[in-house]
Amino acid sequence: MSDHTHVRPWRHIERRKSRQIRVGSVLVGGDAPISVQSMTNTPTTDAAATIDQIRQLEEAGADIVRVSCPDVESTQAFRTIAREAKVPLVADIHFHYKRGIEAAEAGAACLRINPGNIGSADRVRDVIQAAKDNGCSMRIGVNAGSLEKELLEKYGEPCPDAMVESALNHARILQDHDFHEFKISVKASDPFLTVAAYQQLAEAIDCPLHLGVTEAGPLRTGTIKSAIGMGNMLWSGIGDTIRVSLAADPVEEIKVGFDILKSLGLRHRGVNIIACPSCARQGFNVIETVTLLEEKLAHISTPMSLSVIGCVVNGPGEALYTDIGFTGGGKGAGMIYLNGKIAHKQANDGMIDHIVDLVEQKAAELDAARAAELEAAE
């Protein structure tokens, strides 16, 4: 958010009140920031490749990363992976209770599991005890595509009632064993079904909710579907941690996740670029410029705003509310704005590098000011 603007009442989202749990070093729920997650797609048994992908996700800003542990070889590799990761790892466990115990002992911060799929009451108890002994939380992950047979027979098809009943049944198993460090997801590939299930679940239980539209699709269409589904829920205050499920590089999931939160004013990371779609009035190639700026500013994690507008119709107005702005004019030059005020004229030639320099300088100033505030508070 720009440092010279203020939060307007009509932009305020009141988040649902949920109890707070801990996923390693990350707090989830309560008043904690909404965390952004992704999942590795490398073979977990290839520890080096998985660690490398986790590094990429960490650099993109991931708060939590999930790693699949389908077999004993994977949980063996997980110990090495967890030791190298800087962010908490969630071990994805589906059916075999021993994998849950092994992952908890190997350093998992959270187990993604459905208690009802583990088997006997003794096995459930053993996994819960392993989680307690090793400081693990759990995520109950309900998916419309894998609902219990009895619920499908009862309701006839995947529906919000069936998904919520499944989630609450699983939650009850954990609660009966005095385990309360859990979050729940009720995902479907249909955004309408997803939203309806989460809305119903949000009223039925106070645990943190992990949001996602599962199997959303490829980068463009999956992003749109996720933004519609999760944006709807986040706008109404539902959601404590999110994962955008894309058939794309997992790093893109982190980028899209932060963009969704940024667009709703729920969390800010990196440069928020405001740009016009361009038209015949443009004084420079807006699309090419914005594409290059997005690439060159990807390393900036400091929250700030940048407007890049092709002409003077809306440019000056947009620049009033951004940290840095460039408005195209005529004769191969435009105006640079800093903190909403005209700073100087800038030729189109060299404009991109100049804007990058300004952004980097601004980031350094904001980081230094934030560090001074933290030092003074201590």
User: 344 has which bridge partners?
Assistant: 336
What single-letter amino acid sits at 229?
A: G
Are 101 and 126 in contact by the 8 Å Cβ rule? The answer is yes
CA distances from 365 to 112, 195, 272, 327, 372 (A): 41, 41, 17, 23, 11
Measured CA to CA, the distance from residue 231 to residue 29 in angstroms comes to: 18
User: 182 has which bridge partners?
Assistant: 138
Residue 276 assigned to a binding site: yes
Measured CA to CA, the distance from residue 358 to residue 336 in angstroms comes to: 10
Read off the tokens for 97.
């209770």
Are 216 and 187 in contact by the 8 Å Cβ rule? The answer is no
Read off the tokens for 60.
């993109």
Read off the tokens for 291.
């594409």
* Residue partners of 356: CB distance under 8 A and separation at least 6: 293, 296, 297
What length is written for the chain?
378
Q: How many C-beta neighbours within 10 Å does residue 266 have?
A: 18
Are 51 and 59 in contact by the 8 Å Cβ rule? The answer is no
Residue 136 assigned to a binding site: no
What single-letter amino acid sits at 154?
A: K
Residue 311 assigned to a binding site: yes
Helix (H) or strand (E) holding 26: strand 26-28
Are 59 and 258 in contact by the 8 Å Cβ rule? The answer is no
Measured CA to CA, the distance from residue 54 to residue 42 in angstroms comes to: 10
What single-letter amino acid sits at 34?
A: I
Helix (H) or strand (E) holding 36: strand 35-39
Residue 318 assigned to a binding site: yes
Are 235 and 209 in contact by the 8 Å Cβ rule? The answer is no
Residues annotated in a binding site for [4Fe-4S] cluster: 276, 279, 311, 318
Residues annotated in a binding site: 276, 279, 311, 318
